[in-house]
A and B are shown apart, each in its own frame.
Chain A
Amino acid sequence: MEQKLIVSPSPHIHSGDTIQRNMVAVLIALIPAFLVALYTFRLDALLVTALSILFCIGFEYLIVRFVMKKEPSILDGSAIITGVLLAFNVPSGLPVWILALGALFAIGVVKLTFGGLGNNIFNPAIAGRIFLLISFPAQMTSWPATALAESATDAVSSATVLGLLKHSPETLPALQQMFLGFEAGSLGEMSAAALLLGLAYLLWKRVITWHIPVSILATVALFTGILFLIDPLPQYNPLIHLFSGGLMLGAVFMATDYVTSPLTHKGMIIYGVGIGFITVAIRLWGAYPEGISFAILLMNAFTPLINSYTTPKRFGEAVKHG
């Protein structure tokens, strides 16, 4: 026969799903939050996001090529996502050199020392943010006034909702404002509405399942809700907790990172509940006003353990003869 046939084991067809497709979907899902950031912080938002992406891609390329001596796979999109998420987790006025350090830590230390995409234990963007928060606490918590607030009051700096909640709960902004996201905060974390839109897109495209985001948000709502029922103080108000700080960004985009979250649905729920609890505990009783990043980082560490204790439900187990 003239024609050579390809022989390989089954299956012979593929869904067409690729790593890149998933990463691009995540980037699309981040667009609404980015638009809110643009509206709120104007050029700063664009600058910080663009630079953060540039640093992440640049460090990944350089380290993979010249230190690991491998072919860089920038096109898979994971470094771009780390860049965007890191930017979304810092104040819009962060000095560029600090941002660069954060990107270097996220990509160089957290991602690549473990072997790159798929092998890292911790979410690079989260670890990068925490590294910056601990190393540069002043710069990382200096929130420039939002464009909206600026025009109204001529303020040059402001406090986050969670900051206010911890120190002066009587001056909180309206709940509706928190939901739409024009209060102070990190670049991409303010608008719960925009982030929820991203969540809807990710669910629709089946990039993620509901298990992680819903279990985190439900745990936070339940935990604070019970406290609020016992003692109706604003710092226990579940709605304020849901719509403020980095909770939504963390629950939708950071905790759902494939690499660092559990494999099974059961495991995802345990992980999500864990994140919810730790977040509320830090917010209410910890030194920091926000706890979502620490919660995710901690639960990242538990992911291998969760994986080994939550094997999927096997066919034929719990047999029902009916």
Chain B
Amino acid sequence: MLKSFRIGGIHPKENKFSAGMAIQSIAVPAQVMIPLSQHIGAPCQPVVKKGDKVKVGTLLGKSVGFVSAHIHSSVSGTVLKIDKVLDASGYKRDAVFIKVEEDEWEEQIDRSEALVTECSLTPKEILEKIAAAGIVGMGGATFPTHVKLTPPPGMKAEILIINGVECEPYLTSDHQLMMERSDEILVGITLVMRVLNVPRAIIGIENNKKDAVARFTQKAKAFPGIEVQPLKVQYPQGGEKQLIDALTGRQVPSGSLPISVGAVVQNVGTIFAIYEAVQKNKPLVERVVSVTGKEVPRPCNLRARIGTSLTILIDAAGGLPESTGKVISGGPMMGKALASVEIPVTKGTSGILILPTLEAKRKAMKDCIRCGKCVQVCPMGLNPTLLMTLTEYEVWDKAEKNAITDCIECGSCSYSCPADRPLLDYIRLGKGKVSNIIRARKN
């Protein structure tokens, strides 16, 4: 029996059309828009102005505040302006517009393909390099990595967990990265193990990526303390709490961070970025993006510079199909539907998913038939239909008692509802309300 998390879960059709497609670097565009807020936390303070010349790797935005991450230029050229640009959530955010000239990189960046395994830096120095490179969680949550690697006072990490699950249907960028950069990822893991001073790391990979499981199992033999664990294909296996449960049997209590059970989770893409930052002095200026969908002419995995317009990536996959109804940044379960494709690739863009209109339209909601399917699939052990009703009638105290704030917004409830009820829409609303009430009470 393959390991998995113990409560709830679903298994949507995987639809991994871009699986096995080699990562292609797309040409540097003529212009980029680099948002100054690509992470959870405070936006960056711009350190460049109109007319400035920049190179690949030049600092554009300085992180201010504890939870924040630097932003670097992904191209060389001239700063055109700092102006608003739409982000994936539909908000307008400040971004640095750069006109691309040549492709010049900052000198300290090692652009060779050679694998660098040796590292003589102290854990503190490694952590500083990670912070300097502006690395954030690349699975989509975009939490600044150096913050996550700094356990709160009094807490100590015991185990590092590497998320190679990629449980979202359609997406394949992590899978392809694991296949092409397994050595770099393994070196990256040892670096993070040193930062955290942990003896053990487990790489969790869903069993629909048997080639990646085999490759890592074989290569990890040379790395003491690193284990590989194939996992059952079950959504949301890549959820932090679910993955820790699946791999260690420990359950992070409600309202607590993974560190409370001694675990730190890092996505494989983030680990690769850490390798490049520490061993190659390369800040986070590009990432792998899957462009995929049932009717996309050429589903693919692209390496794109941060700030590249999504239209360029979509064109590289053969363009928007006639039938397009919805374009999603991320996967179909947790991704964000975009109002426009004229938005830039950011550090958190794991994929661009194009759904035909027929699939994109929601059906009319019917009355709840109390089948309990939402309760059975909820990976947090919540009662979604109850939480929806409590939100509908604004019964916040009961919503809080029924742990509405535990919801990880995985969408398994809405996905499974035979009455097409928008359970997560309501729960998200209620969760926001209840969180505000709790915060107000604390102050």
Contacts and interface: CB of A to CB of B under 8 A. Distances in A.
Interface of A: 1, 3, 5-15, 17-19, 21-22, 73, 76, 115-119, 209, 258-265, 311-317, 319-322
Contact of B7 (A11, A19, A119, A315): A315
Given A6-B357, A258-B369, A258-B371, A314 B381 contact: yes
A14 B337 contact: no
Interface in B58-114: 90
B40 interface: no
Given A3-B324, A263-B375, A315-B251, A15 B416 contact: yes
Given A13-B333, A312-B381, A316-B253, A263 B372 contact: yes
Interface of B: 7, 10, 12, 90, 169, 241, 245, 248-254, 256, 261, 320, 324-328, 332-342, 353, 355, 357, 359-363, 366-373, 375-376, 378-383, 385, 402-403, 406, 409, 411-412, 414-420, 422, 424-425, 428
A219 B181 CA distance: 58
A123 to B, nearest CB: 12
A13 B12 CA distance: 9
B175 to A, nearest CB: 19
A271 to B, nearest CB: 12
The 8 A-B pairs at the shortest CB distance, nearest first, are namely A11-B411, A118-B367, A314-B381, A263-B372, A258-B371, A17-B418, A316-B253, A13-B332
Contacts, number: 169
B337 A8 contact: yes
A264 B382 CA distance: 10
Interface centre among A9, A12, A18, A313 (most CB of B within 10 A): A12
Given A311-B383, A319-B253, 10 more contacts: A1-B342, A11-B411, A13-B415, A17-B373, A19-B418, A21-B418, A263-B372, A316-B406, A317-B254, A321-B261
B241 A11 contact: no
Contacts of A118: 366-370, 419
Contact of B367 (A117, A265, A311, A315): A117
Nearest to B325: A6
B338 A13 contact: no
Contacts of B380: 314-315
Contacts of B332: 10-13
Nearest to A14: B415
Nearest to A119: B367
B337 A5 contact: yes
Contact of A6 (B245, B337, B378, B406): B337
Given A19-B418, A21-B418, A314-B403, A10 B424 contact: yes
Given A10-B424, A12-B333, A314-B403, A322 B250 contact: yes
Contacts of B371: 22, 258
A262 B334 CA distance: 29
Contacts of B340: 1, 5
Given A115-B367, A264-B375, A316 B251 contact: yes
A316 B261 CA distance: 11
Contacts of B336: 10
A19 B369 contact: yes
Contacts of A3: 320, 324
A265 B406 CA distance: 21
A209 B371 CA distance: 10
13 contacts: A5-B339, A8-B337, A12-B332, A15-B415, A17-B416, A258-B369, A263-B375, A311-B402, A315-B7, A316-B251, A317-B251, A320-B250, A321-B250
B383 A10 contact: no
A319 B418 CA distance: 32
A237 B326 CA distance: 62
Contact of B414 (A5, A11, A76, A258): A11
Describe A's contact surface by its main secondary structure.
Answer: loop
B249 A320 contact: yes
B251 A319 contact: yes
Given A18-B418, A313-B7, A1 B341 contact: yes
Contacts of A10: 332-337, 409, 411, 424
A264 B7 contact: no
B371 to A, nearest CB: 4
A7 B241 CA distance: 29
Nearest to B335: A10
A154 to B, nearest CB: 48
B366 A76 contact: yes
A9 B381 contact: no
A13 B366 contact: no
Given A5-B327, A9-B425, A314-B381, A14 B253 contact: no
A11 B382 CA distance: 17
B378 A312 contact: yes
A141 B98 CA distance: 87
Contact of B385 (A14, A73, A261, A263): A263
Contacts of A13: 12, 169, 332-333, 355, 359, 415
Contacts of A317: 251, 254, 381
Contacts of B241: 315-316
Contacts of B385: 263
A314 B254 contact: yes
A21 B414 CA distance: 17
B260 to A, nearest CB: 9
A226 B355 CA distance: 59
B296 to A, nearest CB: 15
A262 B366 CA distance: 20
A115 B367 CA distance: 10
Nearest to A78: B369
A118 B370 CA distance: 6
Contact of A15 (B7, B12, B256): B12
A35 B385 CA distance: 38
Contacts of A260: 370
Contacts of A76: 366
A11 B424 contact: yes
Nearest to B10: A15
B429 to A, nearest CB: 10
Given A6-B325, A6-B357, A117 B337 contact: no
A14 B420 contact: yes
Contact of B379 (A5, A7, A264, A315): A315
B254 A316 contact: yes
B373 to A, nearest CB: 7
Nearest to A208: B371
Contacts of A14: 363, 414-415, 417, 420
Given A10-B424, A15-B415, A258 B326 contact: no
Contacts of A316: 241, 251-254, 256, 406
A21 B415 CA distance: 15
Contacts of B250: 319-322
A261 B370 CA distance: 8
